[in-house]
A and B are shown apart, each in its own frame.
Chain A
Amino acid sequence: MSSRALKGGLFKALLLFSLFVGLLMLVVLVLDVFLDGLPYLDLTLLTNPPSSDPEIAGARPAILATLYIGLLLLLFVVPIGVGTALYLEEYADKTRWYNRLLEINIQNLAAVPSIVYGILGLAFLVRGLGLGRVLLAGAMILTLLVLPTVIIAAREAIRSVPDSIRQGAYALGATQWQVVSRQVLPAAIPGIATGSILALSRAIGETAPLIMIGAVTYISFDPTILGPFTALPIQIYSFLRLPQEEFKLLAAASIIVLLVLLLTLNAFAIYLRNRYRRTW
């Protein structure tokens, strides 16, 4: 083999190796978790509250709280995120300094560490507004955390609607509201949905901001919106801190639940993206 072909082959091998590093880690992680957790992955885990006895301990309040948080989050983040994105893309005069400032700030917000959002939530929601350490406060702080992501995804989706569509609608005598609500928004929905779901899956895996606003680690009753709560990642953490070996396995089982939840959401997002992929 010539040395040139050898170099090419070597390079390809290097690329493959890089690919395998990530893939291998994921496989090891998933396998390890599944081997540990599978025996404990049963109805008890899904339907029982935590207990000091690992045999009857479950994660029901945490699973429910995570679901509630997810629903509330979507309820908050989609209208606010899409509204912001529509304003910035369709209405804002981009030559104005304050609109440019807004844009830059949103991009910066997306890069703020989640613990900082936790501190914000503690100061403004829990104490300032006096909400207390409740599930609603948790959902709101996670909303703020993923809002920039949703705004950016929605803007991308809105921007990808070709201008010729807007022009065509305007030329027929449509008002700006009609153009936005009947042409731009429907055409952007797949992209917005994909972005929102990915943001949701990021939010429900978050731990730091929830710990910050004081999500309690031991909750034995079903959560309510205005009551104390724990979430799945925090439940996993608290299982791991218990001394008995069985709780470690219970934590692994809870991780499986969380992973299944996240992967389902991501798969749904990918499905949406492919289903509605459009070529103009």
Chain B
Amino acid sequence: MTAMTEQASTIGPMSLAEIAKGHGDQGVTNRDAVFKVSDLSVSYSGNVAIRDVGLDVHKNAVTAFIGPSGCGKSTLIRCFDRMNDLVPGAKVEGEVLYHGKNLYGSDVDPVEVRRRIGMVFQKPNPFPKSIYDNIAFGPRVLGLKGKLEERVERALHRSALWDEVKDRLKESALGLSGGQQQRLCIARCLAVEPDVILMDEPASALDPISTTRIEDLMHELKRDYTIVIVTHNMQQAARVADMTAFFSVEVDEASGKRTGVLVEYDHTSKIFTTPADKRTEDYVTGRFG
């Protein structure tokens, strides 16, 4: 474990600003942008969930989306792997460039997008199959070359689950604890060797110890992957993220409709110590939300 992650597991009574100060790589903004989002709006059956978002997601960094419920952060993260396509009535406008290529171009197959951009969900969702078959599912459906067993073992090692499950690979994944199931889902995602890992509140259904393990894992994984995480937990963002985007909800006076907007996007340490926007400051100091 690195010094950084040890610190992450002992939060104690530190303030968010203190946590954030010791964290986050200031150099990430010099790296290539994996995603370049501009003028992005998403609506569900005409109701705008989030609008006019523009931000860059940098390579080998952890980028966190924070904000109150209904601010559209989950909607936004689902644009990166085109999971919104599965929601009837969802409409995405604007541009999401992935290594310079528009993800919403007419020649882009969402299935191809998803094999490069993995996703971990809020609630662990192991398949009702054996641990082995859970990990092997991705490589199998994608027809990946190479020995399947090695691939499964490698993925389980990387998600720090191997030692706990190596003797029961043939047992049902549903018998694992919640934290183990979530690491299994991370392993499942790693087995197809994605470029980016999207995590939609990956620890919100887990106990504190499991949460710490997932956070440690994120620090590990960002060396090889680009990670985007949605979180309700500001301390988590302060601990794991290099860059943080704060979203807020705007309520239309006339119709009462709620729409998410991006308020501020900057280095995590900046967001939690000297935010530029009053709304961000109110949120991170606990005066709102």
Q: Which A residues are within 8 Å of any B CB, using their own CB?
A: 93-95, 162, 164-175, 178, 182-183, 187, 278, 280
Contact B115 A172 (CB under 8 A): yes
Please report the C-alpha to C-alpha distance between residue A162 and residue B174 in the assembled complex, in whole angstroms. Answer: 14
B138 within 8 Å of A by Cβ?
yes
Are A172 and B83 in contact, with the CB atoms below 8 A? no
Residue interface mask B120-136, A partner, CB < 8 A = 1:
01010111100000000
Q: How large is the interface on B (under 10, 10 to 19, 20 to 34, 35 or more residues)?
A: 20 to 34
| Residues of chain B with a CB closer than 8 A to A278's CB | 128, 174
Choose from B89, B125, B128 the contact partner of A167 (Cβ within 8 Å): B125
Chain B residues in 8 Å Cβ range of A165: 125, 127-128
A-B contact pairs, 10 of them (CB 8 A): A162-B125, A164-B125, A165-B128, A167-B86, A167-B121, A171-B189, A172-B138, A173-B115, A182-B141, A187-B128
Instruction: State the CA gap A232–B126 with chains docked (Å).
Output: 47
Residues of the A chain whose Cβ atoms lie less than 8 Å from the Cβ of B174: 278, 280
B4 touches A (CB below 8 Å)? no
Which of the listed residues A162, A170, A187 has the most CB atoms from chain B within 10 Å of its own CB? A170
Q: Which residues of chain B have a CB within 8 Å of any CB of chain A?
A: 81, 83, 86, 88-89, 111-112, 114-116, 118-119, 121, 123, 125-128, 137-138, 141-142, 174, 185, 188-189, 192
Q: Which of A162, A172, A280 contacts B118 (CB 8 A)?
A: A172
Residues of A within 8 A of B189 (CB): 171-172
Determine which of A95, A170, A173 lies in contact with B88 in the assembled complex, contact meaning CB atoms within 8 Å.
A95
Complex: how many Å from CA A173 to CA B114? 5
Q: How far is the CA of A213 from the CA of B226 in the complex (A)?
A: 68
**B121 to chain A: which residues have CB within 8 Å?**
164, 167-168, 171
Q: Are B138 and A173 in contact (CB under 8 A)?
A: yes
Question: What's the Cα separation between A3 and B111 when bound, in Å?
Answer: 69
8 more A-B residue pairs beyond the given contacts A167-B83, A172-B114, A278-B128, with a C-beta to C-beta distance below 8 A = A95-B89, A164-B125, A166-B86, A169-B127, A172-B118, A173-B116, A173-B192, A178-B141
Contact among A93, A166, A167, A173 with B111 in the assembled complex (CB-CB below 8 Å): A173
> How far is the CB of A269 from the nearest CB of chain B, in Å?
21
Q: Which residues of A contact B185 (CB under 8 A)?
A: 168
Which chain A positions have C-beta within 8 A of B188?
168, 172
Which residues does chain A contribute within 8 Å of B119, judged by CB atoms? 171
CB contacts (< 8 Å) of A162 on chain B: these are: 125
A93:B88 contact, CB within 8 angstroms: yes
**In chain A, what residue has the closest Cβ to B124?**
A164
Residues on B with C-beta less than 8 A from A94 are 88
Closest to B198 in A: A171
